[in-house]
Amino acid sequence: MKTNIWFFEEVDLYDILCPYKYNDHLKSHPLSCYNKTDFLFMEGDVVRELFLVAEGRVKVGFYDKEGNEQVIAFLGRGEILGEKAIFGEDRHKEFAQVVADKTMICRLRVEKARELARDYVPFSLTLTKRFGERMQRLERRLQILLFKDARQRLVEFLKDLCRDFGAPYRTGVKVTLDITQSDIAALIGASRKTVSLLFTDLEEAGLVKFFGRREIYVPDVEGLE
pLDDT digits (tens, 9 = 90+) for 157-205: 999 889 888 899 988 999 987 778 888 887 888 899 999 999 999 999 9
**Looking at residue 214, which CATH number applies to its domain?**
1.10.10.10
State the CATH number of the domain containing residue 39: 2.60.120.10
Q: Would 166 be classed as within a structural domain?
A: yes
> Do 69 and 152 sit in the same domain of this protein?
no
Q: Please check whether residues 181 and 108 belong to one and the same domain.
A: no
CB 213 within 8 A of CB 207: no
Cα 127 from Cα 110, distance rounded (Å): 14
- φ, ψ for residue 6, nearest 5 deg: -100, 70
Do 16 and 76 sit in the same domain of this protein? yes
58, β-bridge pairs: 75, 98
Average pLDDT over residues 56-77: 85
79 — pLDDT class (breaks 50, 70, 90)? confident
Confidence of residue 112 (pLDDT cuts 50, 70, 90): confident
Residue 84 sits in the same domain as residue 107: yes
Percent of the chain whose pLDDT exceeds 70: 84
- How many domains are there within the chain? 2
For 218, phi then psi, to 5°, come to -115, 105
Strands (E) across 76-113 are located at 80-81, 95-98, 103-109
In the structure, what pLDDT confidence band is assigned to residue 12 with cuts at 50, 70 and 90? low
The DSSP secondary-structure symbol of 129 reads: H
Domain range holding 42? 7-136
Mean pLDDT over residues 207-223, rounded?
Answer: 89
Instruction: Characterise 206 by phi-psi region: left (phi > 0), alpha (psi -120 to 50), beta (else).
Output: left
What's the confidence (pLDDT) of residue 208? Answer: 94
* pLDDT tens string 13-27: 555 554 445 566 666
Residue ending a domain, among 136, 159, 192, is 136
| Amino acid identity for residue 109 in this structure | R
pLDDT of residue 1: 42
Q: Kindly state whether residue 2 falls inside one of the protein's structural domains.
A: no
